[in-house]
Chains A and B, each alone.
Chain A
Amino acid sequence: MYELNELTKTYETKRGTVTALNKVSLTIPTGQMVAIQGPTGGGKSTLLQMLGALERPTSGTVTLGDDELSKMPDSRLAEIRARTIGFVFQGFNLIPTLTAQENVETALAPLGLSSQDRKSRATAALEKVGLGERLTHHPSELSGGQQQRVAIARALVKEPTVLLADEPTGNLDEQTRDEIMELLEGLWRDQGLTLIIVTHDSAVAKRAERRLTLKHGAVTEKK
């Protein structure tokens, strides 16, 4: 379960201080599927980075389970990202020089598994997202939808409890978007994940149990 308390994040720019998040307080129970919407520059991605232990708040706290993320050292945050949190990005962020299987394996590298274990788990994850036949393909040899499936396999191969997706369908056509969303929903249901999706797409947001809107750094619930 996530607990956000009075969470504030400001950035210093040449034009002055920009407040990305302004005293956001929020609770997200374990296993919930949440969609976060809002205008560009409203603080959605910043909130996702706080939830993903990628960024520290200027003030306030972020708690994941028993771990208070805002006060942890970098090494411990990296460990939490390695074991507990999975990321899916809008641009897929696959490593172009590695094959699909090797890209998935990168998520297992910090866990200290044997090469054999890494390979077998990566293969299983890719089969689960329907890419069992594309293990040795490089990203450039895959379609956008297939690349996002590889990214989802990479996020889930370590069996995290939280999956954070930043515009996961932003670069895809409608048909592929629906396929990806069905895949994510299926995994969310099967694995009991806490799934938090940042999206501009109302069709995607409507699939979520809970919808939040982030505007000018403040969160509102959307009924």
Chain B
Amino acid sequence: MFGTYLYRELSNRRKQTAIIAAGMALAIALVMIVNGVAAGVKDAQATVLASVYGVGTDITITQDPAQPVEGEEGQTQQQQPRFEFGADDGETTDGTTAISQSRLTSGIASTTFDADALTTAQGLDTVAAATATLALTNVSFSGEVAAPDAATEQGTGQEGAVPGEGAAQGGRGGPDGAGGSAFDVDTFTVTGIDVAGESVGPLTSVELVDGRAFETSDSDSNVVILDTSYATTSSLAVDDTLEIGGEEFTIIGTVTSTSSDATTASNTYIPLDTAQRVADLEGQVSTVYVQAASSTDIASVQSALQTALPDASVKTQEDLASSVSGSLSTASDLVGKLGTWLSIIVLAAAFLISVLLTTSGVARRTREFGTLKAIGWNNGAVVRQVAGESLVQGAIGGVIGVVVGLLGILSINLIAPVLSASAVATTAVAGQGAGQGGGGNRFGDAATTAAATTDIALQIPVTFGIIGIAVVLAIAGGLIAGAFGGWRAARLRPAEALRSVA
């Protein structure tokens, strides 16, 4: 009887059913799309962050750069490459001396800290994996100057005269044959990687294109893996050599990003212990990458690490997401604020319409319910009938809402709006590897800037969670309307109900 009565009521009161179902459908579709877009934006943020921090990293440990302190010679205490050449340095040919030096440093705006932090992280039970990297910058300074002898012979003859002056006066020596000079500055990023191969860290978001990956035996060896883009622009290939920090390194492989990024987090990768030795930063690292045993452990791991390492900056992926800027960030804000409020307002309106129509329906059917009570229906049966009708109306709205929501999500996925994102790093490694718009690199660094900006086509994932939200909302809407309607129906006294229409 329940089913027959319910079917007859809904099919004969199509207008009311359609209004309630349409309201619910609109609200549910909107909630699905807003939640879907939020999930898509979150995935996009994760993609951007993964290109910087690697796949699977839950927490990063860094140390914020200290405020610059004026030194004795007016320089900051941070490492800045300084190139000094002796009088006998370089090779002189035809009055021109060719000089070249390269320095491997942690660079400006970059801070290293004791590698004991890695041991501390690995010691926590709730940590599944942890690894450390050392982010460095290699700066090569090379050029040609007029040979000191040539300058002296053609100049004033005074000892210690600078080559430029000599050339200017004598008009001989130097690359232009007139005592001039020419210099080249080349800079690229270098990341020291633990060759033991933990399951977290920057190399988890790259794939091998040529050669081989690091092996345990590469520890403390002068071997290097190059980012494919950097290798191409620098005309380098596997088995070639590359000078890093004044030492020759053999290229053993090239890698590319597994994401849509054009480049990986660093131009080059070398063994961590080698990086520490060449950069004269023994026992130092710049970032520790931590993977929690479970997603539910992330907060507790962060708290434990922060307690154990009070001077360190311990950030979760959620914290790091705030460093993503660009239209992706705008979309995130839009979804987070406008989308959420719009969903709440539409949902509340749909629930309200559903409640009002259900209660007015009960008022209109006073005679009907009074009659049913007179012929023996108890309150429970009447309430069940009213609530059942509301629940089915909500379910119809839910089904339509899920279909509309899925169509909306499909449309967005087909359009695939492109969002640009930049991981504006607040940490040392990101400052080097993922770029901070050149602010921290005195020479400007095209490679790191390119690695920082990514165009991502927004794709909304369709998950059981999103559909589950729709189902829960449909049931909730139906139950709320049914509860109000049922409450009103239960309050009807049969005699009054019959008398009111008699």
Interface residues of A (CB under 8 A from B): 45, 49, 52, 54-55, 74-75, 78-79, 81-83, 86-87, 89-91, 93, 95-98, 102, 105-111, 115, 118, 154-155, 158, 166
Interface residues of B in 1-27 (CB under 8 A from A): 1-2, 4-5, 8-9, 11-13
Residues of A with C-beta under 8 A to B8: 97-98, 102
- Known: A110-B375, A166-B502; 19 extra A-B contacts, CB below 8 A, are A49-B498, A52-B374, A74-B379, A78-B373, A81-B373, A81-B376, A83-B376, A87-B375, A89-B371, A93-B367, A95-B368, A98-B8, A102-B4, A105-B1, A106-B5, A106-B375, A106-B377, A109-B377, A110-B378
B contacts with A: majority SS: helix
B486 within 8 A of A: no
Q: Given the complex, which residues of A lie within 8 Å of B13, measured CB to CB?
A: 97
**Inside 8 A of B371's CB, which chain A residues have their CB?**
87, 89, 93, 95
Shortest CB distance B365–A (Å): 9
Tell whether B129 is near chain A: CB-to-CB under 8 Å: no
Q: List 14 A-B contacts (CB under 8 A).
A: A45-B499, A54-B374, A55-B493, A75-B378, A75-B379, A89-B498, A95-B368, A96-B12, A97-B5, A108-B1, A110-B381, A111-B376, A115-B1, A158-B376
Interface residues in B, total, Cβ within 8 A: 29
Inter-subunit contact A154/B376 (CB<8 Å): no
Q: Which residues of B have CB within 8 Å of A96?
A: 12
Distance in angstroms from B495 CB to nearest chain A CB is: 4
Identify the B interface with A (CB < 8 A): 1-2, 4-5, 8-9, 11-13, 367-368, 370-379, 381, 493-495, 498-499, 501-502
**Contact of B5 with A102 in the complex, beta carbons under 8 Å:** yes
Q: Are B375 and A81 in contact (CB under 8 A)?
A: yes
Whether B494 and A97, one on each chain, are in contact in the complex, defined by CB atoms closer than 8 angstroms, is: no
Contacts A54-B498, A105-B1, A106-B1 given; indicate if A82 touches B9 (C-beta within 8 A). Answer: no
Per the bound structure, the CA–CA distance linking A205 and B392 in Å amounts to: 48
- List the B residue with the shortest CB-CB distance to A82: B376
Q: Which residues of A contact B367 (CB under 8 A)?
A: 91, 93
Beyond A106-B1, A106-B5, A110-B381, whether A79 also contacts B374 by CB under 8 A is: no
Q: Which residue of A lies closest to B377 (CB)?
A: A110
Residue from A49, A97, A154 within 8 A of B495 (CB atoms): A49
Q: Which residue of A lies closest to B3 (CB)?
A: A115
A90–B502 CB distance below 8 A: yes
Residues of A within 8 Å of B1, CB to CB, are: 102, 105-106, 108-109, 115, 118
Alpha-carbon distance between A166 and B498 when the two chains are bound, in angstroms? 11
Q: Return the contact of A107 from the options B375, B493, B501 (Cβ within 8 A).
A: B375
Which residues of B lie under 8 Å from residue A97 when comparing CB positions? 5, 8-9, 11-13
B498 near A109 with CB under 8 A, answer no
Residue of B nearest to A109 (CB): B1
Q: Knowing A45-B502, A49-B495, A105-B1 are in contact, say whether A78-B377 is a contact too (CB < 8 A).
A: yes
